[in-house]
Amino acid sequence: MSNRSIGLDEELHAYLLTVGVREPEVLRALRDETAKMPNAGMQIAPEEGATLAMLVRLTGARRILEVGTFTGYSSTAMALALPPDGRITCCDVSREWTDVARRAWTDAGVADRVELRLGPAVETLSELLAAGGAGSFDLAFIDADKANYDAYYEGALRLVRPGGLITIDNVLWSGRVADPSVNDDDTLAIRELNAKIAADPRVDVVMLPVADGLTVARIR
Ligand code: CA
């Protein structure tokens, strides 16, 4: 798992971060704190946080669904880009990780924009649908266990409105998706979803080589 852009060497990546990303201090501090934790590679790259924030601003999104919150970098970046009455629903299974995220939301002044749903996200998405949530989100960001990526994508297709965006992290999977000799469960799950979305008539799509690969699908 890479948390920096594939194809950029250290020097060029450092340059990109210098002139290509305006990282708020609260996010820089969160990145430093998370880097000391186990699973630190699960944190998204600064350029990906900036990309997500830009997508929120470009689309004027007011309701965001996040599947996989970890320590809060992406949710904080997107919440900061929301209007004051915007809301982000965050799904994660870990109280330990999301306790770090809660502090980041508070430090960033966006805690009142965030609703945390602890538990398996497949169940949370079903609950949101059962509660009449179909079409109620403007943008979804999927970055959780790869085995359930297809279920998260299908859930997001129902929960996000037509014209809204579904974004998916790690779609380049450090290059393993393009190596036919690699066939572990996670790689297969991502490879199969990538192929499915490429031919999916329900969306328009572009895969951005940002960090470990970010798919941006717009629901038709
Ligand atoms: Ca990720």
Q: Which residues surround ligand 1, an ion (CB under 5 A)?
A: 143, 169-170
User: What pLDDT shows up at residue 2?
Assistant: 59
Q: How confident is the model at residue 8 (pLDDT cuts 50, 70, 90)?
A: confident
User: What pLDDT shows up at residue 125?
Assistant: 98
Q: What is the pTM of this model?
A: 0.96
| Beta strand spans in 86-185 (E) | 87-92, 114-118, 137-142, 160-169
User: What pLDDT shows up at residue 3?
Assistant: 64
* Three-state secondary structure call for residue 155: helix
Query: How many A from CA of 19 to the centre of ligand 1?
Result: 23
Query: How many A from CA of 74 to the centre of ligand 1?
Result: 10
How many Å apart are CA 130 and CA 117, to the nearest integer?
Answer: 15
How many Å apart are CA 203 and CA 2, to the nearest integer?
Answer: 27
Query: How many A from CA of 185 to the centre of ligand 1?
Result: 16
Query: How many A from CA of 12 to the centre of ligand 1?
Result: 21
pLDDT, the chain, mean: 96
Query: How many A from CA of 117 to the centre of ligand 1?
Result: 19
Query: How many A from CA of 44 to the centre of ligand 1?
Result: 6
Mean pLDDT value of segment 136-144: 98
Query: How many A from CA of 80 to the centre of ligand 1?
Result: 20
Query: How many A from CA of 116 to the centre of ligand 1?
Result: 18
pLDDT tens-place string over residues 68-108: 999 999 999 999 999 999 999 999 999 999 999 999 999 99
Query: How many A from CA of 202 to the centre of ligand 1?
Result: 24
Residue with tokens 């002139």, as numbered in its chain: 19
Q: Which of 42, 41, 25, 51 is nearest to 139 (CA)?
A: 51
Q: Which of 140, 128, 194 is nearest to 165 (CA)?
A: 140
Mean pLDDT value of segment 145-171: 98
Mean pLDDT value of segment 200-220: 97
CATH number, domain 10-219: 3.40.50.150
Query: How many A from CA of 126 to the centre of ligand 1?
Result: 22
How many Å apart are CA 140 and CA 151, to the nearest integer?
Answer: 13
How many Å apart are CA 158 and CA 143, to the nearest integer?
Answer: 18
Q: For residue 104, which phi and psi values (nearest 5 degrees)? A: -65, -40
How many Å apart are CA 11 and CA 129, to the nearest integer?
Answer: 46
How many Å apart are CA 183 and CA 189, to the nearest integer?
Answer: 9
Rounded to the nearest 10 degrees, the angle between the axes of helix 121-130 and helix 149-159 is 20
Residue 166 CA, distance from chain mean position: 9
> Amino acid letter at 72?
G
Query: How many A from CA of 142 to the centre of ligand 1?
Result: 8
Residue spans of the domains in the chain: they are: 10-219
